[in-house]
Structure formats: C-alpha cells, structure tokens
Amino acid sequence: MNNSKKILSVLLIAVMAMGMLAGCGSKKAADDSAKDAKDTLVMATNATFPPYEYVEGDDFKGIDVEIAGEIAKKLGMKLDIQDVEFDSIIAGVQSGKYDMGMAGMTVTDERKQSVDFTDSYATGIQVIIVKKGSDIKSVDDLSEDTKIGVQQGTTGHIYASDDYGEDAVTPFNKGADAVQALLSGKIDCVIIDNEPAKAYIESNDELEIIDTEYVKEDYAICVSKDNSDLRDKINTALQELKDDGTIDKIVSKYIPAE
Ligand code: ARG
C-alpha cells in the first residue's frame, strides 16, 4: 500500500467507527426516551378495599387490580401498583406522580374539577353497617347525634359530613378500622361502599348492613387533565374488555351472583 492509500483507509475506518458510535448513541437515547415515554403504567390505589383491591400475602388482589392488569396488557405496558392513602390519590395523579388512580373511586363533580375520569366500569352503593339490634334501622334514623364512622376522604365521608355535620363523623384511615371501632362501641355505624361492607362483616356475626341504601354511585379510573391521550386509550381498552366479557368474568370471580 502506498502512503496516500494508507491514509485513506485509516480515514475510512475512522469515519466508519464514528458512524457506528453515533449510531449506538442515538439508539440508546431512543430506548431511554421510550422508557420515559412509558413502558410502565403507574396505578395508585388504596389496597384496603376488598373485593376491589386488597393485599394477600405479597400480592395485590381484586377486581381493580385485575382490570388494571388487562388494561396495561392492551396498552403494551407493565403495571406498577402503588399502595397509598386513599385521600392522596387524586393529588398524586394531578401532579403526574401516578398515571392513574384506580381504587373503587366514585366519580363526583368535585373530583372532576381536579382530574379527568374514564368511562365507568362498575357501580357502588354507600350502605350503613350497624351492630345487630341497633336503634338505627334505616337511613332516616341517622342524625347529627349519630356517631358515624367513615374512611377518610371517601364519598361516605363527604356525604355524611354534608348531611349530618362534621361533628357527627369520625374519619378512619381504613374502612376496616372504622368497623373495629363499631365493634368496640366507639361509633354507632359505618357508612361505606357495599361490597367492602360485605367483606368487612363477613366474619362478624355481630354486624349487619341495613336494608336501605344511602347513595348510588359510579366507579371510574382517574387520570390527569393533561393526559387525555391516556384517558382515551383506557376508554378504548375498557370498552373492549366490556364487549368481550372480560370485566364480567373478573367481577363474578370476586362477587359471586346472589
Ligand atoms: N367509592 C368511595 C370513594 O370514591 C370509596 C373508595 C375507597 N377506595 C379505597 N380503595 N379505599 O370515595
């Protein structure tokens, strides 16, 4: 090889090497941003709410957990479940800390001012749990003098405070704690969603759910108002899961038909 040819081939190799390096660099950058641009769907919940979400051993279980898993699958994403206080879910979704809140969460006009809701995937009913033999036989027996237990920040909390005043209401971190307080006579009743109510009293002969319903409501998933793209994708996934019977199947696994 003469000198000029040598120089040329060295240059060529250098150019190729640079090209490869540049190629690698940009591939890596693309992968990283794809990761940021979400291969994980972060769901905030409060896993004290059977049969919608609860902890069993090391696992999250429940209707919401399974529906969320199906939604993530449809979106081609991994599901990451964060178990947090119920009344911190909306703020966390608003700030972008979580992509969505799914926690048997009722759609309300007030919450709609902070977050967007997807289409509803289930309905709930606020019911009243009492000790058997209680003087409280229907909603009409509740008054400002009733000691009402609720889970902090839930619709049960909001409605009971509106109807009977803050002083009548004792908020607890978990619904199950309210039920314990009822058992030990610290409060007269608990207002909470019907399915968790059934789950809480299941192993308790002393308790019953009174016949009259307090409020009926729709459950939906909340997302940030800045993320209508995610909301639309979840709605599409939900519709498919409704149409092909997946949601019914999940619900009936946890709530056997009566
Ligand atoms: N449906 C009620 C609400 O939205 C109670 C939900 C509580 N959920 C929970 N995972 N603890 O306020």
Give the strand order in the sheet containing 59-61: 48-49, 53-56, 59-61
Helix intervals (H) in the chain: 3-36, 63-75, 89-94, 109-112, 155-164, 175-183, 194-201, 228-243, 246-254
Instruction: Please identify, by atom number, the ligand 1 atom nearest to the C-alpha of residue 46.
Output: 10
Question: Cα of 17 to ligand 1 centre, how many Å?
Answer: 58
Q: What is the pLDDT of residue 35?
A: 44
- Note whether 116 and 73 are within 8 A (CB): no
Q: How far is CA 188 from CA 135, 136, 144, 169, in A?
A: 9, 8, 12, 10
Which atom of ligand 1 is found nearest the CA of 219? 1
**pLDDT block averages, 10 residues each, the chain of length 258:** 50 46 41 59 98 97 98 98 98 98 98 98 96 96 98 97 98 96 98 96 93 91 98 98 98 89
In whole angstroms, how far apart are CA 114 and each of 4, 69, 160? Answer: 70, 25, 22
Q: What is the pTM of this model?
A: 0.85
Which of 43, 45, 48, 49 has most ligand 1 atoms within 8 Å of CB, for mutation? 49
| Ligand 1 centroid, distance to 59 Cα (angstroms) | 20
Q: What is the pLDDT of residue 12?
A: 47
Q: Ligand 1 within 6 A of 70 CB?
A: no
Q: Return all residues near 42 (Cβ < 8 A) that are at least 6 apart.
A: 80, 82, 97, 98, 99, 100
The pLDDT score that the predictor gives to residue 2 is 52
* Cα 9 from Cα 117, distance rounded (Å): 63
